[in-house]
Structures are given as structure tokens and as C-alpha cells.
Amino acid sequence: MSADLQNADSRALHEPFSKALGASNPRAALAWLVGVLATQSAGLRSSNSYLVAYTGCPEAIDWLEATVASPVTTHWGQGAALLGTPWPRIRNWLVAGGSQQLMALDTLIAYRAPAPNMAPLAQIAAPVLPDAPTLSEYQATLMAVLNEQTTPRVRKAVENVLAYATETLSRKNRGVSVADLPLLFLQPEVFQNASEILGRHDSVISGIRQSVQDLLAQLPSRS
């Protein structure tokens, strides 16, 4: 394993992870990836954590549960949603508090309908909440979290989850199965609606780059 990967972000990991997925079975790719993540700083591991989902291995949920730690970015929950973490397990995370609770809330938010501000692969995968509860149980569970002495971040996350409750619980069909997540990572263009989503994303990125270039062009030159 290259020492360079210790400081690799998700963009730098894309090529070697793709090679690992293409050259071996998903479980071997998962073992390779978590080995890399174990060498990284807590912050970098947190931002890269969602990548384990693209192995399509259900046991990656175990890794997320056992490894999640501060700083808890939204990437942990995004990975858990992609892997189809069911409601009973998420409910346990909510009760556990701490880092698992934060991950649980971000997981529920990631189960909402695909939106343009999501990563393009997440929009294509369009995960749905397995074993979804009734709306009343869902709301009661989250209100119990809200009624505890919680941080502003937890309160805001709970409010967001509740705002998307009906949307989250009414969705039934994933865009891409968990088993097909490795293929989604390697060849996203083969999936339905991918061309539109990827094209829209590319247009946004191009627009941002052009705006930056325009701003730089307006800066006075250094003599």
C-alpha cells in the first residue's frame, strides 16, 4: 500500500479504489479500503468514509458503526444510506447518542428524494429506507431525541429529518441496488437517468470554474 494514500482525499483515492474494485471481489476491495482509511487522520477518514459503500458489502455497515468518530461529517450517513441501513439499526444509533446518533440523523437525511445538491452517484443510487416505520413512530423517535439535552447541530439535524419525513417514508424503489454499487462507481453511465444527472453536474462544475476564472481575470496583475 502506497504511503501517499495516507493523505489521499476521495479524488485521489478514486483511481486506486477503482483498480481494487475491478481487480478483486468486493470484500477484498473493502479490506483494502479500510486498510487505507485506518492510516489516515480522523478528519480525512471521515470525509472518505462513504467510499466503503461502493464495495456493496453489507458488512461495511459494521465498519461504519464501529469506526464513526469525531469529526462526524455527513459522509458517514451518506455511506450508511447507500448501503441500505434499515430503520431498526438506525433507531439503535439514535438511542446510542454521540457519533452514532449524528451518523443516524445524516443517514435519514440521505434517504430523502434525490436532489441536485447531492453527489451525482448518490442521486443515481437513490437509496430508500428499508423496514421503514410508520410516520407516528418515526416522529416519536425523533422527538425523543429532540427533547433530550442536545447540541444545536443535533437539533438542526432532527428538524431537517422531520421536515423530510413524509417524503422519506413514502419512497419505495432504489435507483441502484446495493449489490450494483461497485458497478455504479466504475461505470455510472450504464444506469438509468445517469446521463442527465452526470451532465447536469458537469455543467454546474464548468460554470463554477468559469466564474472563478472570470474573477481571477478581474484581479489587478502583479508588476
Whole-number pLDDT of residue 196 = 85
Spatial distance between the Cα atoms of 202 and 218, rounded to a whole number of angstroms = 25
pLDDT computed for residue 201 by the predictor: 52
Length of the chain: 223
pLDDT reported for residue 7: 96
Give the integer Cα–Cα distance in Å for 116 and 118: 5
Amino acid type, 134: T
Q: Cell 439535524 belongs to which residue?
A: 157
> 70-80: string of b/e by CB count within 10 Å (b at 16+)?
eebbbbbbbbb
Cβ neighbours of residue 45 closer than 8 Å, sequence gap 6 or more: 37, 38, 67
Greatest extent of the chain over all pairs of C-alpha atoms, in Å: 67
190 contacts: CB under 8 Å, gap ≥ 6: 183
Q: Considering the domain boundaries, does residue 109 fall inside one?
A: yes
Which residue range forms the structural domain that includes residue 33?
3-218
- The answer as to whether 203 is a domain residue is yes
Check residue 118 and report its DSSP letter: S
Residues 6+ apart with CB under 8 A from 86: 129, 130, 131
Residue 223 located in a structural domain: no
User: According to the model, what pLDDT value does residue 204 have?
Assistant: 52
**Mean pLDDT per segment of 10 residues, for the chain of length 223 residues?**
83 96 94 97 98 98 98 98 98 97 98 93 97 98 90 95 97 96 96 83 52 61 60
134 occurs within a structural domain? yes
**Residue 124's pLDDT is what?**
96
Q: How many domains does the chain have?
A: 1
At 220 the pLDDT is 74
pLDDT at 29: 97
